[in-house]
């Protein structure tokens, strides 16, 4: 079954997050490293927080090929692997790094002979499972299960790796469709978990981390803190936990720390759109909101200052704080229509011709998610705006003199108000 957009993006971004979170403690013995819960720099490779290693680079190579061609072509994926090894294509640094031995010799063989099946029976490293998510998604979306083996065989053609890839893909299927898996980790306790780069132990340790926790963040923290091949155990755990809990369950603070987040996200979405997975727009889009700065001008000759219309928020976030009236744009309406409707609903005020102010788009400006506000200014005469009454999700609606504003205002509304005052005629 093809995973949904949320589960597919979860597996892809889970892979990236696990690689980035685990790489700083890669090669350490279990518990002889700091307990990692945040993206931190990696001394081994000299990388800042949120830089992925070979796991992420190879997964991006697979996704880029499918996004560009609209189908899985193992020869083209092989050429991407060569570009990665030789030119740093899709690497977080200008060059490839953290390259496993079997992967190095296999990619060199692709370059030299064009061979699309590489790796000896004894090459049982985790180089295929660490990058599995894009080939798993392509295999399911195209109804071509052989894609799993074709992608893995490029570097790790051995019976053991093929079996492990098959087991992991089955677990991903179950987690993505029902949130549960019948598979049970070979490891019952943390002490049992082997943190080597063997494909079997990497998958079993990652599965243990998912089994023994109840959310994405705890699973990934449990996985990478096994140390050893921490980035690849993290990359595998991130795929499993991402398929189980979905993209929306990945902590935003981790995603925000990953290098080139917007470019990587756009690539993943083009990859999923190329495979026809519904709901994955090639170009990600924010929610749009309109906020209204209604200002009543000062009476001529008097001492009274101009005033602004504010509402006290009846719900979270910023419950109880004062804010500009406003809200989310609905399907079928223009921003101006949205501004008029929200102002009417929340305050009872009809605004005729709102004029636009600079949009506000700083990441994190709204704790509910990615929200861009398009504010509008509406200037009323000194006797305008009578008969205000709170409605919808506003607990109160009031005119405040500009020299006696409640503080602090919710969101970035103080900055929007400052823009409006500067724009006053
Ligand atoms: Mg790595």
Domain with residue 88: its CATH number is 1.10.4080.10
If you measure from the C-alpha of residue 98 to the centroid of ligand 1, how many angstroms do you get, rounded to a whole number?
5
> Rounded to the nearest whole angstrom, what is the distance from the C-alpha of residue 225 to the centroid of ligand 1?
15
Say if CB 85 and CB 163 are below 8 A apart. no
Quote the ligand 1 centre to 46 CA distance (angstroms): 14
Tally of CB atoms within 10 A around 47: 20
CA of 16 to the centre of ligand 1 (A): 10
Q: Are residues 312 and 419 in the same domain?
A: yes
209 CA from centroid of ligand 1 (Å): 18
What pLDDT digit, counting tens, does each position of 43-75 carry?
A: 999 999 999 999 999 999 999 999 999 999 999
Indicate if 152 and 65 belong to the same structural domain. Answer: yes
- In terms of domains, do 251 and 321 share one? no
Q: What is the pLDDT of residue 287?
A: 86
User: Ligand 1 mean position to 246 CA, how many Å?
Assistant: 23
Max CA-CA distance within the chain?
Answer: 92
State pTM to two decimals.
0.71
Query: Is residue 207 within 8 Å of residue 240, measured between CB atoms?
Result: yes
Q: How far is the CA of 335 from the centre of ligand 1 (A)?
A: 46
89 and 151 share a domain? Answer: yes
**Distance (Å) from CA 25 to ligand 1 centroid:** 11
Cβ-count burial 322-352 (b if 16+ within 10 Å, e if not): bbbbbbebeeeeebbebbbbbbbebbbbebe
Ligand 1 center to 23 CA (angstroms)? 7
Q: Is the dihedral of CA 58, 234, 272, 270 positive or negative?
A: negative
Query: Are residues 188 and 39 both part of a single domain?
Result: yes
- Yes or no: say if 372 and 288 are a contact pair by the CB < 8 Å rule: yes
Judged against a pLDDT cut of 70, whether residue 282 lies above it is answered with no
- Cα(199) to centroid of ligand 1, in Å? 13
The token pair at 38 is 């945040």
Could you tell me the CATH number of the domain that includes residue 326? 3.90.79.10
Residues 144 and 187 in one domain: yes
Beta strands in 152-205 (DSSP E): none
Tell me the average pLDDT across 75-100.
Answer: 97
Under DSSP, the state recorded for 276 is T
DSSP E strand stretches across 239-321: 287-296, 307-313
- pLDDT by residue (tens digit) across 314-343? 888 999 999 999 999 887 899 999 999 999
The secondary structure element, H or E, covering residue 376 is strand 371-380
Alpha carbon of 82 to ligand 1 centroid (Å): 17
How does pLDDT run across 196-248, given as a tens digit for each residue?
999 999 999 999 999 999 999 999 999 999 999 999 999 999 999 999 999 99
Domain boundary among 243, 274, 305: 274
Q: What does each C-alpha distance from 398 to 219, 254, 387, 413 come to in angstroms?
A: 48, 40, 10, 16
Q: Which residues contact 178 (CB under 8 A, 6 or more apart)?
A: none
- The total domain count for the chain is 2
Give the Å distance between the CA of 160 and the centre of ligand 1: 20
55 Cα–ligand 1 center, Å: 5
In angstroms, rounded to a whole number, what is the distance separating the alpha carbons of residues 245 and 219?
Answer: 11
């Amino acid at each position: 079954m093809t995973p949904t957009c949320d589960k597919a993006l979860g597996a892809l971004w889970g892979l990236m997050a696990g690689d980035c979170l685990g790489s700083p403690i890669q090669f350490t013995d279990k518990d002889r490293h700091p307990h990692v819960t945040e993206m931190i720099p990696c001394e081994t490779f000299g990388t800042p927080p949120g830089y992925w290693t070979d796991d992420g680079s190879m997964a991006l190579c697979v996704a880029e090929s499918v996004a560009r061609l609209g189908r899985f072509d193992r020869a083209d994926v092989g050429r991407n692997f060569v570009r990665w090894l030789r030119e740093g294509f899709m690497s977080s640094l200008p060059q490839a790094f953290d390259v496993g031995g079997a992967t190095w010799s296999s990619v060199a063989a692709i370059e030299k002979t064009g061979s699309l099946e590489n790796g000896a029976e004894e090459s049982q490293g985790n180089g295929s499972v660490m990058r599995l998510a894009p080939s798993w998604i392509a295999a399911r979306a195209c109804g071509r299960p052989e894609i799993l083996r074709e992608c893995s065989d490029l570097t790790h053609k051995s019976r053991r790796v093929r079996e492990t890839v098959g087991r992991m893909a089955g677990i991903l299927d179950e987690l993505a469709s029902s949130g549960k898996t019948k598979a049970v980790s070979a490891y019952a306790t943390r002490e049992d978990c082997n943190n080597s780069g063997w494909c079997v132990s990497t998958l079993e340790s990652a599965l243990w981390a998912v089994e023994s926790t109840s959310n994405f963040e705890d699973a990934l923290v449990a996985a990478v803190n096994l140390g050893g091949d921490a980035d690849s155990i993290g990359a595998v755990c991130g795929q499993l936990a991402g398929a189980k809990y979905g993209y929306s369950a990945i902590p935003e603070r981790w995603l925000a720390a990953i290098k080139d987040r917007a470019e990587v996200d756009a690539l993943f979405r083009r990859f999923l759109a190329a495979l026809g997975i519904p709901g994955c727009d090639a170009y990600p889009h924010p929610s749009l909101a309109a906020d209204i700065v209604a200002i009543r001008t000062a009476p001529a000759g008097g001492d009274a200052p101009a005033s602004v219309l504010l509402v006290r928020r009846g719900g979270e976030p910023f419950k109880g704080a004062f804010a500009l009236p406003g809200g989310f744009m609905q399907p079928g309406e223009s921003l101006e229509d949205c501004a008029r409707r929200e102002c009417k609903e929340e305050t009872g005020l009809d605004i005729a011709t709102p004029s636009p102010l600079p949009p506000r788009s700083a990441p994190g400006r709204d704790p509910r998610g990615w929200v861009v506000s398009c504010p509008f200014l509406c200037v009323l005469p000194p006797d305008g705006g009578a008969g205000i009454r709170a409605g919808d999700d506003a607990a109160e609606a009031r005119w405040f003199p500009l020299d006696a504003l409640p503080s602090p205002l919710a969101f970035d509304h103080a900055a929007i108000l400052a823009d409006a005052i500067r724009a006053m005629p």
